[in-house]
Structure 1
Amino acid sequence: MASNETHHTLDRPSFDKPVKVLIVVAPYYKDIADQLVAGAEAEIEAAGGWHETIEVPGALEVPSAIGIAGRLSNFDAYVALGCVIRGETTHYETVCNDSSRALTLLGLQGLCIGNGILTVENYEQARVRAEAKGQNKGGGAAAAALHLLALERKWGGSRKGVGFVPFGDEIQIAGTSKDPGIA
């Protein structure tokens, strides 16, 4: 059973400048979500960071909210939290795969994101993984976001995005500009 295994965890990163983290949670299973948030908040605070928490309807909306915040706010890192429990239809696979894929794409565009969206077979698995004093997957997701942020700061901050980005009514390759006044 996975819960009996031991895993190596990295030391908590330290920061010279303040850290501002957005926690985005889908509270569909409220008691699970509350435990995930408690673990994430404790990890961020232990690293000396500040956090804000927002709620969205479901796991599919978590990446969208992070994408919006990445464009319109000044957060340093993001923690994605929620829980998807397998049901009787293929909706489970859609939600798990698409939320994870969207978070990965946002990360590849330069956002520091820890993914704590649990994907489990049943409620008991979710409960065990979410407990802040147990497996603490919320704290683990916050730690992942903080480690990515530490790497970003070590290597000189964020760069222009990867891939394609909108430019008015057109699409352009990230890191390039059609505007001669923009480097």
Structure 2
Amino acid sequence: MAQAETHYTLPLPEFDRPAKLLIVVAPYYKDIADQLVAGAKAEIEKAGGSHEVIEVPGALEVPTAIRIAYRQSNFDGFVALGCVIRGETTHYETVCNDSSRALQLLGLDGACIGNGILTVENREQAVVRAEAAGQNKGGGAAAAALHLIALTRRFGNGNKSIGFKPLRDEIQLAGDAEGPASA
């Protein structure tokens, strides 16, 4: 197997108040999922954050679970974890593409998500990428979520008003600026 190329890794952000993350994992390949979760937990704890872990049946359910939590809870960010290994059918492409696309759309909607759903050709590739002491893709996904949380906090918490913004502070009514015409 080829050696992994080295790359630059951003230092973890620092927080004045701890970040709270939800780790959503599809444990279809339990041993691989456990390594991904271990890496994610360690990275979150290293940044002084807290975490909760929930399991869903498969990679396609990960984005749905994140959306539910994003809409109905108080997590600062999310870590999506799981593993999809190519099989003999086109189901691999469906699961990889749809889970990734759904996570991206949630991110564009403001959710701070680190995507650690492995999409690999075989089990050996998955093991190498999942090992917390190795490539640690679970830790990398947690770090990505932490960086997005830091950006969100830097630029404001993302809670923007919904609806129209008035151009001025005073209220203007439709009609003649002088008021109603007298008869």
Measured against the shorter chain, the TM-score band is 0.7 to 0.9
Structure 1 portions without partners, runs of 5+: 161-173, 178-183
Provide closer, same or farther for how the CA distance between residues 59 and 76 of structure 1 changes in structure 2, counting only shifts above 3 A: same
Structure 2 portions without partners, runs of 5+: 165-183
> Any runs of at least 4 consecutive aligned residues in structure 1 with deviations exceeding 6 A, and if so which?
none
The answer on whether the counterparts of 1:22 and 1:78 sit within 8 Å (CA) in structure 2 is: yes
Structure 2 counterpart of 1:13: 13
1:25-174 aligned within 5 A: 25-160=25-160
Higher share in strand: 1
Q: Distance in 2 between matches of 1:3 and 1:148?
A: 29
1:175 partnered with 2:166: no
1:40-82 per-position Cα deviation (integer Å, ceiling 9, x unaligned)? 0000000000000000000000000000000110000000000
Q: Distance in 2 between matches of 1:99 and 1:106?
A: 11
Q: Distance in 2 between matches of 1:159 and 1:116?
A: 26
Provide closer, same or farther for how the CA distance between residues 2 and 10 of structure 1 changes in structure 2, counting only shifts above 3 A: farther
Q: In structure 1, what residue type is equivalent to 2:9?
A: T
Which one has the largest radius of gyration?
Answer: 2
Structure 1 counterpart of 2:176: none
Q: In structure 2, what residue type is equivalent to 1:27?
A: P
Q: Count the aligned residue pairs.
A: 164
1:19-46 per-position Cα deviation (integer Å, ceiling 9, x unaligned)? 1000000000000000000000000000
The answer on whether the counterparts of 1:110 and 1:159 sit within 8 Å (CA) in structure 2 is: no
The answer on whether the counterparts of 1:22 and 1:77 sit within 8 Å (CA) in structure 2 is: yes
Q: How many percent identity over aligned positions?
A: 78
Q: In structure 2, what residue type is equivalent to 1:57?
A: P
2:57 match: secondary structure: coil
Q: Distance in 2 between matches of 1:2 and 1:118?
A: 18
1:77-108 per-position Cα deviation (integer Å, ceiling 9, x unaligned)? 00000000000000000000000000000000
